[in-house]
Each structure stands twice: as structure tokens, then as C-alpha cells.
């Protein structure tokens, strides 16, 4: 597996990481724990060194799973987790909370669940409009000084927020959605990250599964799958958005690859400091995604994709309003 370095930091990770959320949360019932432990360890054997979790996934159960699975290979891997949500005494997720004292309190829980002495990469999961980002960055800076955290990250943050945070504590990576059907980061975010020397970690690089070509307007999701409330996943939107799948499939056929591999190879080709984290619960998909790092898209291929994609407008909002409002910038 090829390696990439996140921005100007010394944090080197596999070119393709593994998003772990769907193993416990968001995409239907939790997967079998023992199967997921086996999958995570198999991913390491195949060269994946970058694993993404968060306190809110479960909540907490995903951190516990990742911690247990990766304990035997701790020195070989980079584990990223996220803070920023409130949790009630019943364990239910509330609103945003990035107050410095609360960050430090919840990080202690993450350290315990992950079974680590230091978190490799700690993201603020969503920008908290009630807490100045300088205070958030200052709290993480203290955690880094205390040896409990190694690198600071932000998720779904806007460029001014990133600049203000970076001035207090250098930001190693920003995680936001980015794929062929969600290209908002190209306008302001990517140029800012390049200027500041910050790595970029696209989540949902396969469009929440849509760009694999395995989903059409007739697909039904489990009742607990959050795609049921995503406007971009209404049957009408899925039908209209098949144009993206057809574009990828055409290139894939020529390249003897899959649509998912072309979607990931396209992301890797954008910048050398981009590291996508596709999620899956199937080992065959891990293998497929890893192999995307070996798919070479020529300048002509990239121009062809760009030209075709520019003719397609994605239908449907990427989040329902109540979730989009949580992506404060």
C-alpha cells in the first residue's frame, strides 16, 4: 500500500484509510462484532494504517470496537477519533459541546475506550458556534502538551475557522465530505489547505455508497439507515444521479477497474495530500478500495471525467436541514 503524508505534518498514513462508522452506526443495524474485529485486523494485514472513528458513533461502541481490534497492532496504525457532541447520562447524543473542560473530559473516555496512551489524530467533529475556535484549539494544544493527543484536526470547518484554529495549534488534517458528486471543497477549502500545509481526509468518498453503482432508485434501506432521510437519496434523486454512476462505469470498463475504484482514484489524483476513508463492513470491499490506489488515471482520463462531470448537476441536498445546520463553519 502506498503511503501519504497529511500536509506538512509528519503523520504518514496509507493512501486509502478505513472509515469505521458503518460498523456500528448510521447504515442499518450494527454488524457482528467478531466479524468487524476480523475485518479491521485483515485491513491492517493488507497495508491499511489509517482508521477513523468518533465518540458519537454508537455512541462510544465504535471506539470500543476499533480499540479492541487494533490493540495487537497498535504500533502499526494511526487512529483518528472526534469530540464535540454532548452525551446525556443515558448515553444519548445531544447537541454540540466543545467547551474546553468538556473536551478534556470526553478525551479521557476516548483514551480508555481505544486503549491507547495518546490519540494519533483528534478532530473537532463539528464547529460549535457557542465556543470560540481559539478556545477549542487551545484545549487540544494542552492535550498535545500533556502527551494525550498527537495531532489536531477539524471536520466540516470553514476556511476562516481553519485559519483561526491553525494560528493557535497547527491543524494536521481537515475532514469533510468530498467526492465526484459533492465538490464544494474545491472552491475555497482545498486552496486554503494547500496554502497552510494541511492534509485533507474526504469522508463519503463513494457518495455514501451511491457511486459504487450498487444502488438505484429501487434500492430499499433498513429502517435505521440514515440515508432514508437524505434528500439526495430519494428515489427521484437516485434516478437522476445515475448519470454519475454511468460516467464512472464507462471509465472503469476501459481501465479494467470498478466504478468505486475510479471514484477513489479520482480523489487521489486531485492532490498528493488527500487520503480518502471509504467505509465498509465487507472484506471484499476493503480489497476493492485498497486496489484503487494502484489505478492510474492519466491526464486525458482526468480531463474526460472533468468534462463529463461538469455536465451533470447532482439532484437533492446532501443532508436534511437539521443535519446541515450542524455543519457550522
Residue 252's pLDDT is 98
Q: Which long-range contacts (CB under 8 A, 24 or more apart) does 257-261 make?
A: 257/291, 257/292, 257/295, 258/212, 258/213, 258/288, 259/211, 259/212, 259/213, 260/206, 260/211, 260/212, 260/213, 260/285, 260/288, 260/289, 260/292, 261/288, 261/289, 261/291, 261/292, 261/295
Mean pLDDT of 18-22: 98
Q: Taking all residues of the chain, what is their mean pLDDT, rounded to a whole number? A: 97
- Does residue 192 register a pLDDT over 90? yes
pLDDT score of 328: 66
Percent of the chain with pLDDT over 90: 95
Mean pLDDT of 69-75: 98
Q: In which region does residue 132 sit, left (phi positive, over 0), alpha (psi from -120 to 50) or beta (all else)?
A: beta
CB-based contacts of 1, cutoff 8 Å, min separation 6: 14, 15, 16, 46, 47, 48, 49, 290, 293
Give mean pLDDT, residues 226-253.
Answer: 97
Give the Cα-Cα-Cα angle 279, 285, 287 (nearest 5 degrees).
115
What lies within 8 Å, CB to CB, of 58 at 6+ separation is 24, 25, 64
For the chain, the domain total comes to: 1
Instruction: Show the cell assigned to 61.
Output: 461502541
Cα–Cα distance, 282 to 80 (Å, whole number): 21
Structural domain harbouring 60: 3-324
pLDDT category, 89, cuts 50, 70, 90?
Answer: confident
**What mean pLDDT do residues 63-76 have?**
98
* Residue 209's CATH number: 3.20.20.100
Active-site residue, from 27, 57, 102, 178: 57
152 within 8 A of 140, measured Cβ to Cβ: yes
Our CA angle for 122, 127, 130, nearest 5°, is 120
**CA 89 to the chain's CA centroid:** 28
pLDDT at residue 327, rounded to an integer: 67
- The pLDDT, as a whole number, for residue 273 is 98
User: 37-65 pLDDT, tens per residue?
Assistant: 999 999 999 999 999 999 999 999 999 99
Q: Which residues of 84-102 are buried (b: 16+ CB within 10 A; e: fewer)?
A: bbbbeeeeeeeebbbbbeb
* DSSP 8-class letter at 177: E
CA 167 to chain centre: 24
pLDDT reading at 134 higher than 90 = yes
- pLDDT value of residue 280: 98
- The reported pLDDT for the residue numbered 152 is 98
pLDDT band at 324 (very low <50, low <70, confident <90, very high): confident
- Cα distances (Å, whole numbers) of residue 156 to 74, 105, 277, 288: 28, 23, 15, 27
Is residue 120 assigned to a domain?
A: yes
Q: How confident is the model at residue 88 (pLDDT cuts 50, 70, 90)?
A: confident
Q: In this structure, are residues 162 and 171 in contact, taking their beta carbons and an 8 Å threshold? A: yes
Is there a domain that residue 329 lies in?
no
Dmax (CA) of the chain? 56
Percent of the chain predicted with pLDDT > 70: 99
C-beta separation of 156 from 84 below 8 A: no
Question: Active site includes 57?
Answer: yes
pLDDT, mean of residues 185-189: 98
CA dihedral 39, 62, 271, 287 (to 10 degrees): 10
pLDDT confidence tier of residue 113, bands split at 50, 70 and 90 = very high
User: Over the stretch 92-108, which tens digit does the pLDDT of each residue have?
Assistant: 888 999 999 999 999 99
* Residue 218 pLDDT exceeds 90: yes
Provide the 8-state DSSP code for 287. Answer: H
Within a domain: 108:
yes
pLDDT at 58: 94
Which of the four pLDDT bands, split at 50, 70 and 90, describes residue 326?
A: confident
Amino acid at each position: 500500500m502506498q503511503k501519504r503524508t497529511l500536509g506538512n505534518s509528519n503523520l504518514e498514513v496509507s493512501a486509502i484509510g478505513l472509515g469505521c462508522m458503518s460498523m456500528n452506526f448510521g447504515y442499518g443495524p450494527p454488524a457482528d462484532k467478531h466479524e468487524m474485529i476480523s475485518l479491521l485486523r485483515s485491513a491492517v494485514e493488507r497495508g491499511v494504517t489509517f482508521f477513523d472513528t468518533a465518540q458519537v458513533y454508537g455512541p462510544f461502541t465504535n471506539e470500543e470496537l476499533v480499540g479492541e481490534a487494533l490493540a495487537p497492532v497498535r504500533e502499526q496504525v494511526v487512529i483518528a477519533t472526534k469530540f464535540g457532541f454532548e452525551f446525556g447520562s443515558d448515553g444519548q447524543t445531544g447537541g454540540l459541546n466543545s467547551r474546553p473542560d468538556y473536551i478534556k473530559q470526553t478525551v479521557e473516555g476516548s483514551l480508555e475506550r481505544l486503549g491507547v496512551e495518546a490519540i494519533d489524530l483528534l478532530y473537532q467533529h463539528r464547529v460549535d458556534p457557542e465556543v470560540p475556535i481559539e478556545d477549542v484549539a487551545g484545549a487540544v494544544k494542552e492535550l498535545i502538551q500533556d502527551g494525550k493527543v498527537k495531532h489536531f484536526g477539524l471536520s466540516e470547518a470553514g476556511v476562516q475557522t481553519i485559519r483561526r484554529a491553525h494560528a493557535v495549534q497547527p491543524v494536521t488534517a481537515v475532514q469533510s465530505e468530498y467526492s465526484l458528486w459533492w465538490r464544494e471543497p474545491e472552491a475555497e477549502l482545498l486552496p486554503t489547505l494547500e496554502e497552510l500545509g494541511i492534509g485533507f481526509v474526504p469522508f463519503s468518498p463513494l457518495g455514501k455508497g451511491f457511486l459504487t453503482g450498487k444502488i438505484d432508485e429501487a434500492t430499499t434501506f433498513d429502517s435505521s439507515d440514515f440515508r432514508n432521510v437524505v434528500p439526495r437519496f430519494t428515489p427521484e434523486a437516485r434516478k437522476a444521479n445515475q448519470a454519475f454512476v454511468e460516467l464512472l462505469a464507462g471509465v472503469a470498463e476501459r481501465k479494467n477497474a470498478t466504478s468505486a475504484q475510479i471514484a477513489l482514484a479520482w480523489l487521489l489524483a486531485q492532490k498528493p495530500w488527500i487520503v480518502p476513508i471509504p467505509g465498509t463492513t465487507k472484506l471484499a470491499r476493503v480489497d476493492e478500495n485498497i486496489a484503487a490506489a494502484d489505478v492510474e488515471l492519466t491526464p486525458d482520463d482526468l480531463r474526460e471525467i472533468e468534462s463529463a462531470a461538469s455536465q451533470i448537476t447532482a439532484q437533492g441536498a446532501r443532508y436534511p436541514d437539521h443535519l446541515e445546520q450542524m455543519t457550522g463553519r
